[in-house]
Structure 1
Amino acid sequence: MRGRTAALAAVLDQGAAGLTNILVLVLAARLSTASGFARFSMVYLVFTVVLGLFMAYVGQALVLVNAAADRVATACRSALAFTAVAALAVGAVLALVGGAAPAGWQALAALGAVLPVVLLQDAARYCFSVLGRPHHALAADGLRLVSTVTALALQPEGASPARLVVAWGLAAVPSLLLAVLLLRRPLAGAGTELRPYLVRGHLGRRFAVEFAVGNGSSQLAVLGLGALGNPLAVGALRGASALFGPLNVFFGAAQAFGPPLLNRLGGGGAVVRATVLLGGALAAVGAVWGAVWWLLPDGWGRQVLGDTWPAVAELLPATGTQYTLMGFGVSALLTLRVLSPRETLTVQVVFSLLSVGLMYAGFAWAGAVGAAWGLAAGSAMKAVAAWLRVLRVRRRERTPAPDAGASPEPTPSP
């Protein structure tokens, strides 16, 4: 495919995947009671963490493969085989835990049953990426979007969280079958090597650690609110994040496709100016999007999120502020990724953990509303810290290095 067509297909694919995740939460909220959606949200959050770890360990290492076509095919086939084996093992553990857990956690067992299907479908997306076939990824994810919406829309009102999880998971089967069909030719004759995933130096371990201390820690912290505190708070926070899901697609697209474009600008100053404008644009979109939902009449809100809407509506000022600030934070981290990639890890680790602490402090102070304001405060601090790093990198670039070849000036004689 041509470069522009491939880029467009990749953007559309990311949009389809993001929209699927948004509509899963929206449809589940409409079909469930507030308590039922809270339980569904907690199980879906478990899936989000497991997916993030898998795709960090397998997918992110896979897309860095740069070798001959036969090696790429072997890498893809190996990634799919490892994902299948590991997903079966993790799924069995989740099924056992869900079966032994108190009533109301049957949805966790349901997640264990469908986990191999959904993880394999997502792993196929990375194979299409490394094979240079984003249009095939778009076809598979487009089919999954349609199948998921159809499967959930056919569920009765008041459906249990376990039933919704099963419907959502089985909806990925047509997409997985299509992916297998599309991968059959490019992977024909390729070998399978599982050993590289088990050795100590596997690159995916670093990516998994970055995810665990970054996004994973914040998601597990939200899950902890439900396990140790109030499950309804998880439903409210997840419902609010679903409303702002389109912004996550924008943020992800900026991080995925921004570096190649910014590298063409040819200088640190030009990159900073471009990302400042990008940050302002993302922040403005976040503010407007939050205001639209905040001004929405209650009746319309209930049409979107059902019984969960009243709890979500209380969080909209805080969540809108958080996403406005995230626009500046994303642009700052994007700047660092282009100018000095090693600078991002510390910011991500320190301020992701700080956000977790602020969320728990806010929850102890004012429940779910306080937790949402804690997350907003964490986003503000992360954005400030990231831009301060950018300024430090720019000062370092502008400071001329000492000329090692120059001879020292003579000392004047007395």
Structure 2
Amino acid sequence: MPIMTSVQADERRPAIPRSNALWGVGDQAVSMASNFLLTVIVARVSSPRDFGLFTLTMAGFILVLGVARAVVSEIVIIRHAVLDIDEQQVAYRQALGATAAIAVPLAVIFLAAEAAIFGSLGSVTVIIFVALAPLLLQDAARFLLITVGQARLAFYNDMAWLVLELVGFAAVLELAGHGRQTELVVAAWAVAGAACALIALRQLRSFPHLAGGAHWLRRNADLSWPAVVEFLSGQGAAQLVLFIVSAGVGVEAAGGWRGAFVLFGPLGVLTTGLGMAIVPALARQFHDGDRSSALRTCLVAAAVVAGASALLGLVLTFNLFSIGSELLGKTWPLAAAVMAPVAVQKTLEAFSLGAVVGLRGASLVSRSMRVRLVLAALSIAVASFSFATTSLRPVAWGQAAVMSIGLVLFWLQLVRHVRNTPAKHRVAGRT
């Protein structure tokens, strides 16, 4: 195959508009609103026990979704943004096929785990099991649309899901009896998502290629497995730290600490949406040897997210407008006691985002994985000190200190790569 110059490659790639990042953030906001609405409606129509079972089932679904993203979707935005239009069409069919291929074993694992935990399969579990493949495809298609600079279409797709689920919820609340409302609400959400998966495939003008999916998984295993390990280590450490803190200083204090993190939920819209949108641009910049632009993009992203986090942290720490106390109610005093260290931790984490997305854009997932494993071990070690204190505040400050180490390590990895990479180095794209 003849080697194309950067200019020729740019002409063959779909353009990524500057507004793509904003549409990406908007898309993530709509997606989170859809899931939030589902949780609120289920909470209103369910008994406390049924709602507890629902939250555990959804936690399993979110874990499965995160693994699917690590195996396929994140790799798509890292590796396929540098391909030309014709190569992208082939690669995207294969990536969708890979998503469909892993949906089956993930669904079986999900079902087996739920059965092992609860002793039997509930209706909500079965509904999500049946709908898992189209739901994973819809999410993968979102990533693909953002990668090709069509985050606007991803936003429209998630908005369609929100509208369809609202119609479904209204019908259930109006027509269904109280006995099966929980299952019917979840079914309305899942059916809306499955319909939007078909719409997304139409938007992409691409459909899954199962045989090509197996080829895609083999070819991209060098990035997907480190991404899965990083995701699971981060999620696993966070949950283990919460359990350790609960055992050390008590469930009430741990609940207040968790409540402090929940108040930073809106920041997740910005971090996730912005990260999804700028990684394709970074992949192209590193691919074309434009190191200075890539590093500048990372710094700007870090500054934007860290600035937003610091501002939110100040508002919550000083309880301006009574936001914290209004949202958390009786839990607020416990959350307020650790709000300052949590705000510092979240701001440091936000500034680290620039380096994390930079490492992804440079196809260096294994490096960010190693840093994440170090941070997981340090977080668990710091949490263990909760058994030696009656206050959670020292442990919270310790977690902030761990994140400061993470910030240094993430940026050190990125800066070393930028300095040691020749100006015209290209990261290999794979189909």
TM-score, scaled relative to structure 1: 0.70
Residue identity (%)? 23
In 1, are the aligned partners of 2:259 and 2:335 still within 8 Å (CA)? yes
Q: Distance in 1 between matches of 2:293 and 2:95?
A: 38
2:267 equivalent in structure 1: 247
Q: Distance in 2 between matches of 1:350 and 1:84?
A: 30
Indicate whether 1:207 and 2:224 are aligned. Answer: yes
2:383 equivalent in structure 1: 359
Q: Distance in 2 between matches of 1:85 and 1:300?
A: 43
Indicate whether 1:381 and 2:400 are aligned. Answer: no
Q: Distance in 2 between matches of 1:60 and 1:269?
A: 23
Which whole-Å deviations, capped at 9, do the CAs of 1:166-197 have from their partners, x for residues lacking one? 84564232132132245258668865328717
Indicate whether 1:217 and 2:217 are aligned. Answer: no
Partner residue of 2:189 out of 171, 176, 179: 171
In 1, are the aligned partners of 2:92 and 2:144 still within 8 Å (CA)? no
Indicate whether 1:196 and 2:214 are aligned. Answer: yes
Q: Which runs of 5+ in 2 are unaligned?
A: 1-13, 174-179, 423-431
1:95 equivalent in structure 2: 114
In 1, are the aligned partners of 2:131 and 2:190 still within 8 Å (CA)? yes
In 1, are the aligned partners of 2:352 and 2:410 still within 8 Å (CA)? yes
Q: Which runs of 5+ in 1 are unaligned?
A: 156-161, 399-414
Give 1:287 deviation, angstroms.
Answer: 1.9
Which whole-Å deviations, capped at 9, do the CAs of 1:83-139 have from their partners, x for residues lacking one? 5423431232133124328xxxx88x8446424535632432323543655444323
In 1, are the aligned partners of 2:99 and 2:140 still within 8 Å (CA)? no
Q: Distance in 2 between matches of 1:52 and 1:27?
A: 24
Which whole-Å deviations, capped at 9, do the CAs of 1:26-65 have from their partners, x for residues lacking one? 8888999999988766654433322211221233345545
Check 1:226–1:99 CA distance in 2 against 1; reply closer, same or farther (3 A cut): same
1:263 equivalent in structure 2: 285
Check 1:242–1:207 CA distance in 2 against 1; reply closer, same or farther (3 A cut): farther
In 2, are the aligned partners of 1:143 and 1:175 still within 8 Å (CA)? no
In 2, are the aligned partners of 1:76 and 1:127 still within 8 Å (CA)? no
Which residues in structure 2 correspond to 1:46-85 (within 5 Å)?
A: 46-62=60-76, 64=79, 68=87, 71-72=90-91, 74-75=93-94, 78-85=97-104
The structure having more radius of gyration, on CA atoms, is 1
For 2:264, the aligned partner's letter is F
In 1, are the aligned partners of 2:259 and 2:331 still within 8 Å (CA)? yes
1:350 equivalent in structure 2: 374
Q: Distance in 1 between matches of 2:392 and 2:186?
A: 27
Indicate whether 1:327 and 2:350 are aligned. Answer: yes
TM-score, scaled relative to structure 2: 0.67
1:285 equivalent in structure 2: 308
For 2:400, the aligned partner's letter is A
Partner residue of 1:139 out of 150, 156, 162: 156
Q: What's the RMSD between the two structures over aligned residues?
A: 4.8
